[in-house]
């Protein structure tokens, strides 16, 4: 869709990247590291100072004491961390429960490792997990469950109750949990991010995955991290070492300093909620209907009042004929479910949001 947007000079609300600048302080910190000659390989697990500062951040946010030397690994973004996590855990014939609509890297990596993805569908419009259905689909071959909260593409958020139910399933069936938490700081309406790091019984069999790119508006830096107990981390690092070995050194130095100040990330919920609400205000006279969004910088919109086109056709038509690019929700489903929803990214400048809304209100 981003290529189609470029080809047709369309406003791009499809791919999930902000179009506003990274904080100047963070740019300066990274540039300073470069100028100081910190441009060679970092240690394979990541710079010790960055892992130590992440451990402090985790303890402050989630009350978990994490050993930075043996439980934190810096990765080339969240997707590489997911690749390492799935590849470390999943072997031929292993089943992995995942939830559609889903981020598009889960399924192919499971299949690449000869595992079997078990797709369970989150039902619109709330997209909550049906835990009875989950338990009914657990078999002797089930190795792991992948969760994602806040959830891309729906904006749904798992609750304390959800995590307690998951905790019981992990204990009962000995399952691993891969928890995609890259939007941990983008959560709205007073809700709390329920990281698996807050639940020792889950974390004992868990891998939590995070992204500095999402948090600090720098998706192109491709820097994230995974947190897992020592024995699991040993396996993760085998995958990481022979996949990328190490990640961007000056970015690690810059981020290590930047995260010491919690004011660089704690205001993010209010910042992005204001953008969500502003975009809703701008679209109030349109025929698009917004679904509830409690996290991430994506929101699903129904176009039922406009067209009965399949969503892929609708997205293509809007891009080519109206100059506005979105993502059809069906691409996040194994079966390509047609549900008349488009995913829109609102991590955009005021100018972009106004320009996009002006177009959408005319459709």
Per-residue pLDDT at 1:
87
pLDDT, average across residues 132-141: 98
For residue 48, what pLDDT band results from cuts at 50, 70 and 90?
very high
Cβ neighbour number for residue 189 with a 10 Å cutoff:
12
**pTM for the model:** 0.97
Continuous segment of H or E residues that includes residue 111: helix 106-112
Residues 184 and 190: their CA atoms lie apart, in Å, by: 13
Identify the CA nearest to 188 among candidates 328, 78, 298: 298
Per-residue pLDDT at 15:
87
For residue 98, what pLDDT band results from cuts at 50, 70 and 90?
very high
| Contacts with 340 (C-beta within 8 Å, 6 or more apart), sequence order | 302, 303, 304, 308, 311, 314
Per-residue pLDDT at 2:
86
Residue that is written with structure tokens 């993760």 in the block? 236
pLDDT, average across residues 193-216: 98
Q: How many helices (H) and strands (E) does the chain have?
A: 15, 13
Q: 290 - beta bridge partners?
A: 301
- pLDDT above 90 for 316: yes
CATH number for region 2-16+266-360:
3.90.1150.10
Identify the CA nearest to 295 among candidates 244, 248, 346: 346
The burial class, CB within 10 Å (0-12 / 13-18 / 19+), for 115 is: buried
Per-residue pLDDT at 118:
98
Question: What residue segments make up the domains of the chain, in order of their start?
Answer: 2-16+266-360, 40-261
CB 303, CB 348: distance < 8 Å: no
Beta strands in the chain, from DSSP E residues, in sequence order = 11-12, 72-75, 95-100, 116-121, 142-148, 176-180, 206-211, 224-227, 289-290, 298-302, 324-325, 327-328, 341-345
Reported as a single tens digit per residue, the pLDDT across 268-292 is: 999 999 999 999 999 999 999 999 9
Reported as a single tens digit per residue, the pLDDT across 150-194 is: 999 999 999 999 999 999 999 999 999 999 999 999 999 999 999
Reported as a single tens digit per residue, the pLDDT across 213-257 is: 999 999 999 999 999 999 999 999 999 999 999 999 999 999 999
**Right CATH for 40-261 from 3.40.640.10, 1.10.8.50, 3.30.70.270, 3.20.20.10:** 3.40.640.10
The CA–CA distances, whole Å, from 244 to 42, 73, 87, 120, 283 equal 11, 12, 14, 32, 43
């Amino acid at each position: 869709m981003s290529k189609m947007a470029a080809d047709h000079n369309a406003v791009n609300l499809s791919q999930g990247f902000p179009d506003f600048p990274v904080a100047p302080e963070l740019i300066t910190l990274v540039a300073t590291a470069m100028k100081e000659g910190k441009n060679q390989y970092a240690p394979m697990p990541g710079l010790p100072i960055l892992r130590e500062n992440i451990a402090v951040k985790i303890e402050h946010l989630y009350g978990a004491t994490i050993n930075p030397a043996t439980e934190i690994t810096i990765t080339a973004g969240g997707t590489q961390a997911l690749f390492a996590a799935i590849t470390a855990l999943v072997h031929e014939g292993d089943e992995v429960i995942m939830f559609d609509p889903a981020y598009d890297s889960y399924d192919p990596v499971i299949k690449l490792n000869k595992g079997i993805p078990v797709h369970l569908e989150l039902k619109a419009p709330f997209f909550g997990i049906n835990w009875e259905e989950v338990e009914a689909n657990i078999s002797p071959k089930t190795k792991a469950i992948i969760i994602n909260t806040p959830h891309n593409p729906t904006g749904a958020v798992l609750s304390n109750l959800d995590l307690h139910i998951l905790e019981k399933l992990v204990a009962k069936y000995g399952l691993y949990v891969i928890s995609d938490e890259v939007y941990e700081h983008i959560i709205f309406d007073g809700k709390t991010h329920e990281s698996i790091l807050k639940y020792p019984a889950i974390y004992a069999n868990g891998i939590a995955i995070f992204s500095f790119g999402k948090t600090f508006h720098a998706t192109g830096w491709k820097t994230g991290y995974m947190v897992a107990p020592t024995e699991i981390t040993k396996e993760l690092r085998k995958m990481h070492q022979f996949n990328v070995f190490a990640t961007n050194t000056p970015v690690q130095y810059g981020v290590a300093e930047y995260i010491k100040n919690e004011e660089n990330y704690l205001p993010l919920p209010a910042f992005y909620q204001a953008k969500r609400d502003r975009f809703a205000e701008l679209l109030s006279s349109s025929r698009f209907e917004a679904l509830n969004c409690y996290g991430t910088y994506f929101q699903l919109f129904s176009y039922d009042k406009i067209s009965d086109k399949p969503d892929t056709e609708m997205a293509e038509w809007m891009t080519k004929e109206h100059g506005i690019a979105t993502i059809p929700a069906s691409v996040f489903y194994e079966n390509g479910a047609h549900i008349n929803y488009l995913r829109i990214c609102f991590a955009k400048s005021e100018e972009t949001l106004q320009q996009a809304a002006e177009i959408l209100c005319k459709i």
